[in-house]
Amino acid sequence: MKALGLGILGSGKGSNCRAILEGIRAGTLPARARVVISDVFDAPILEIAREFSVPNAYLPPGQFRTRLEPNVEAELVRMLREADVDLVALAGFMRVLKSTTLEAFPRRIINIHPSLLPKFPGLEAWKQALAAGETVTGCTVHYVDEKIDHGDIIAQREVPVLPDDSAESLHARIQIAEHELYPAAIAQLCAECSG
Ligand code: GRF
């Protein structure tokens, strides 16, 4: 049986990418990492891809700040197809994908977000949860649609907000949960695809 081909897009640190690649290496995630692509030239996520010998590329995003230029987005789709990607996993990718990519990979693009969606979409969701006085927050893996941090939910994990939490300590605890949840959710999708 053909393993699910994974494409990972990220703009930064890449800790979720690392967790996914470690899951694949450990054999708990029955997927093949086909390519890692970043819109940031020196993003650590590209270094992580190289560490795991996964093909990787910097994709210059063009003139916009929050999305890719249309011709760049077409190039992204071409790269993902050429790499034989079945499922696209966003891992800290800081640009909104438009219809070019969404239509090329219908219900095949997923994201992880550091809150219990639909609560606290947008930036620094852990700070939003703290400011709102939540006692529980968490992380969500969801399908990507045309809205930001929106789309059908695949899996969620709760994380308690502790009385003495700072933004940093809460974020760190949510990231630990993310690193378990994201590979597990992708493994679940792999099982559904092959089953
Ligand atoms: C994660 O917290 C994820 O929820 C959000 O972006 C962050 C990426 O972190 N979408 P990393 O680059 O995987 O460390």
Q: What is the pLDDT of residue 155?
A: 98
Q: Residue 192: which pLDDT band, with cuts at 50, 70 and 90?
A: confident
User: Is the minimum distance from the CB of 157 to ligand 1 under 6 angstroms?
Assistant: no
What average pLDDT does this structure show over 25-48?
Answer: 97
What average pLDDT does this structure show over 89-114?
Answer: 97
User: What share of the chain has pLDDT > 90, as a percent?
Assistant: 96
Q: What is the pLDDT of residue 3?
A: 87
CA distance 72 to 160: 40
What average pLDDT does this structure show over 180-193?
Answer: 94
Q: What is the pLDDT of residue 1?
A: 57
Query: Do you find a cis peptide bond into 118, omega within 30 degrees of 0?
Result: yes
What average pLDDT does this structure show over 125-141?
Answer: 98
Q: What is the pLDDT of residue 195?
A: 59
What average pLDDT does this structure show over 57-84?
Answer: 97
CA distance 164 to 170: 10
User: Is the minimum distance from the CB of 178 to ligand 1 under 6 angstroms?
Assistant: yes
Q: What is the pLDDT of residue 76?
A: 98
User: Is the minimum distance from the CB of 137 to ligand 1 under 6 angstroms?
Assistant: no
**Which tens digit of pLDDT belongs to each residue from 44-66?**
999 999 999 999 999 999 999 99
Q: From the CA of 46, how far away is ligand 1's center (Å)? A: 14
Decide: helix, strand or coil at residue 125.
helix
159 and 177 Cβ atoms separated by less than 8 Å: yes
Mean pLDDT of the chain: 96
Looking at ligand 1, which residue's alpha carbon is closest to its atom 1?
92
Single pTM value for the model: 0.97
The two tokens of residue 95 are 């640009």
Q: Is 179 a catalytic residue?
A: no
